[in-house]
Amino acid sequence: MSVDLGAGGALATAGLAAKAIEGQGGAPQDDAHGRAICANCQSALIGSYCHACGQTAHVHRSIWHMLEEGLHGVLHFDSKMWRTLPLLLARPGLLTRRYIDGQRVRYVSPLALFLFTIFLMFFVLSFMSPNSTTTNSTPEEQRSAREALVSELATAKDEVNEAIAAVQAATTEEERTEAQEALVEAQAEQRVAEASLSIFDKAQEAAKDPTKTTIVTGEELTALTGMKFDAASSKVEGVVKDIASNPELMLYKFKNTAYKFSFMLIPISLPFLWLMFFWKRDVTTYDHMVFSMYSLSFMSLLFVIGVLLSLSEATTAAIPYLVAWVPPMHMFMQLKETYRLKFFSALWRTFALLFSAGTVFVLFMIMVLAISAM
């Protein structure tokens, strides 16, 4: 594991930025200096805070207090976090509804929470990332992996030969059609096996000689992904060369772009939410924005929990259940209480939201990949 100092700095910045968004808040401090005039706007003070600009009456000049204030901003959000998180986890709809209705002073705003949790997620992801491009597998494991790929290719070739024999032996049109379909599938499997073995060998060569440029062909990418890649296209060829020659740099650029543009998840999500409620006059775009930011904040925290669970073999088995059950249940609870829906109204929207979330994620990944490749 390695600690990405840039991500750590971003996390601290996110906490302080969220603190700034939330404002001073919290319990008033004693006026230790006995000020009668606000140091910021020179208004007469009538309490622990200035009624004109909101600045605290107590103005410290202590390094300890400065460090304490910074740590407080990162970790506590003026104690609002400890009132917000339980509701976000257990009653997300109630939290969202209260914020929409104007009950805001007790809770972290959706923008501040989204900002902090997104950066927290990428910080954890950076912390868990390997710090080198070298493989951790032993030569024996590499040899075993290659033997498995060779065996898969041999099996695929045998299946192709069997399918060809079945086409030649077919006596009726129906048998010939079925045999030809099986042949097409077998040939596709053979292409995948050949591409996997070729890319594995190229990766091994690149590991032995990092200065050597390794090219993954458009045909190999097409076989593995099913998508059409034109190897003659300078754009695609350039991206493939960059990925193949320095995968760690491309991964770093991808992660960096992803967290810088993570805010784009919100506008991408809004049209899908609008489509589920466009006929309801009392539901506004602002409501959808608050909903999406709190929902994305929860999903970011869920990702962090999943990463932490993956640290132990004893808890890794819980991750599939966490992914399969928690997001839809959370979406259902948040939809039902936020928009005051009945059971079946919330249920069908939950399925629609799950589909929308997948679409939003794919669109976001395409956008990030395109920007990273520039």
pLDDT average, residue stretch 159-178 = 87
pLDDT average, residue stretch 364-370 = 83
Report how far Cα 155 is from the mean position of its chain's Cα atoms.
37
92 half-sphere exposure, CB direction, 13 A CA radius: 24
pLDDT tens, residue by residue, 185-221: 888 888 877 877 877 777 677 666 655 555 555 565 5
Per-residue buried b or exposed e for 4-34, using 16+ beta carbons within 10 Å of the residue's own CB: beebeebbbebbbbbbeebeeeeeeeebeee
Rounded CA-CA distance 22/166 in Å is 71
Domain residue ranges in the chain? 80-132+247-374, 139-246
pLDDT tens, residue by residue, 314-362: 888 888 888 899 999 999 999 999 999 999 999 999 999 999 999 999 8
Q: According to the model, what pLDDT value does residue 346 have?
A: 95
pLDDT tens, residue by residue, 51-101: 777 777 776 656 666 555 655 555 555 567 888 999 999 999 999 999 999
Residues 40/50, Cβ–Cβ less than 8 Å: yes
Identify the H or E element spanning 256: helix 247-260
Residues 122/255, Cβ–Cβ less than 8 Å: yes
**Lowest-pLDDT choice from 33-42, 112-121, 257-266, 359-368:** 33-42
pLDDT tens, residue by residue, 252-274: 777 778 878 888 899 999 999 99
Rounded CA-CA distance 325/291 in Å is 20
Find, among 140, 119, 114, the residue nearest to 290 by Cα: 114
| Share above pLDDT 70 across residues of the chain, in percent, rounded to a whole number | 68
